[in-house]
Structure 1
């Protein structure tokens, strides 16, 4: 299980309201794409789920338990900039996630535990298509390969929730398409909940099972920070049930087929 519940959440920085009165439920195993204009609170929402930021008011829970105040093994994250260790090989980067998780103070594993961790790391490296580059350092990898490595590193924690903050924004279109082809089967196989922030609507609809749009619905020219962002669209892209969207229902599949 990895269901997320957001209740009456406000985020304020001084007199600047970023998010106002957010209520949201994310089902376990969903792939939620979050879209919206720059500065509308998308990344702030992601940081709330990660635990980097705390709401001014309201609460967030994971499987009914309050989210911890700092990132933990329940939540993996991949940023737009390649967040890998430049001094470690591909294997070393993925292995580090296991070592830090098992031995936080020594950050090293020995004997049977180390051999088991190497085997798991190799499985992940193979899953993201980096097996031929196992002994290379990040500087010898392309941007797409480094992002594959960042995904493998995040998955090494076996997180309940994977958070993606514009993960493919810096990649060329061809490499981005390769990353899409990599990520969706991985998500389906691992069954985790994914929340991805993106500016690319094609990417949002192509990967997500649900698309949520953030935006400010009210504006005060005299006080730009007076109102925060809300969810303006909530689109369920699965085909097995009608879903309320702005007060309307998406027609059931059988109705659409009869038209």
Structure 2
């Protein structure tokens, strides 16, 4: 669980400004949904949280300390494309992160440390509903099961921040609902802070305790290089973990537009 402070963050590539003036504070145990049109910098911002990229200007603090400038075990990530290894079983996929973390050169643990890693991995597979599939390979799993395996991979190292980049976009609606429930259960149990990029507004409001939108305020052709996307609205959500003053999620496009206009 981590408190995240984003202070006047900009991201510029050459002459192209992608993000500008991004500032907000996220309390511990929050679930932040990041929404906005394609190309507005949502995934770029997530990569900065991961440590794959650094802000051009500004800074990001986690629990009062500057964010490390490279990926680390305290940040887990799940992408839309399943980040699982096809030649490893489910159990081996989940164990791999623990083995590489504790034995980066050999990538293998032995004795008591291996038994502990195996036990932790089995428990995580049970938590995501894959306890009976530990000996199966990813090719033997459905899309939803593979995504749950990817979530288990990310969570077994007990990250303080979980970063989700369109993690459910390729799933059928029925499967997606099941994975949603699994994720919410694990979030409540672990108390971690979550950032999720999604294009699905209903998903954003269903899962998030707060919905933050990135978009461009300057859209004329001559402005597209000089100006980037920024925060256009920031809404708390009426969610079990949200604050009492949070608002209810919109149930129609009209309600959504009314909420945007009110902010």
The alignment's TM-score, normalised by the length of structure 2, stands at: 0.91
Please report the RMSD computed on the Cα atoms of aligned residues, expressed in angstroms. 1.5
Query: Using the alignment, how far apart are the partners of 1:170 and 1:247 within structure 2?
Result: 31
Match of 1:240 in 2: 244
Which residue matches 2:168? 168
- The equivalent of 2:194 in structure 1 is 194
Inter-partner Cα distance in structure 2 for 1:242 and 1:42: 23
Gaps of 5+ in 2: 248-258
Separation in structure 1 between the aligned mates of residue 260 and residue 211 of structure 2, nearest angstrom: 13
Q: Is the 8 A contact 2:35 2:211 kept in 1?
A: yes
- Deviation track 1:116-150 (CA, whole Å, cap 9, x = no partner) reads 11111000000001111110111111111110000
Q: Conserved in 2, the CA contact under 8 Å of 1:220 and 1:226? A: no
Give the direction of change, closer, same or farther, for the CA distance of 1:139–1:246 in structure 2 (3 Å limit): closer
Q: Which residue of 1 aligns with 2:146?
A: 146
Runs of 4+ with >3 A deviation: 245-249
Partner of 1:126 in structure 2? 126
Indicate the residue corresponding to 1:21 in structure 2.
21
> Is residue 218–residue 224 contact of structure 2 (8 Å, CA) maintained in 1?
no
Match in the other structure for 1:257? none
Task: Name the counterpart of 2:86.
Answer: 86
> Using the alignment, how far apart are the partners of 2:62 and 2:112 within structure 1?
33
1:177 — aligned with what? 177
CA distance in 1, matches of 2:9, 2:85: 35
* Matches of 2:4 and 2:191, distance apart in 1: 15
Give the secondary structure class of the aligned counterpart of 2:11.
strand
Residue 29 of structure 1 aligns to a residue in which SS?
A: coil
Question: How many angstroms does 1:86 deviate by?
Answer: 1.0
Partner secondary structure for residue 135 of structure 1? coil
Deviation at 1:224, TM superposition (A): 2.1
CA shift, 1:83, in A, is 0.4
Match of 2:34 in 1: 34
SS of the equivalent of 1:60 reads strand
Maintained 8 Å contact 1:124/1:156: yes
Q: Write the deviation string for residues 177-201 of structure 1: whole angstroms up to 9, x where unpaired.
A: 1111111111001100000000000
Contact 1:125/1:149 (8 A) holds in 2: yes
Distance 1:220 1:241 in 2: 37
Quick one: distance in 1 between partners of 2:243 and 2:82?
35
Work out the CA distance in 1 between the residues paired with 2:58 and 2:7: 6
Q: Across the two proteins, how many residue pairs are aligned to each other? A: 248
Q: CA deviation at 1:241?
A: 2.7
Counterpart Cα distance in 2 of 1:127 and 1:25: 30
**Residues 4-47 of structure 1: CA deviation (Å, up to 9, x unaligned):** 11111110011110000111111110000000000011101101
Map 1:51-70 → 2, pairs under 5 A: 51-70=51-70
Cα deviation 1:49-105 (Å, max 9, x = unaligned): 001111111111111111111110110000000001111100000011110111111
SS of alignment partner, residue 115 of structure 1: helix
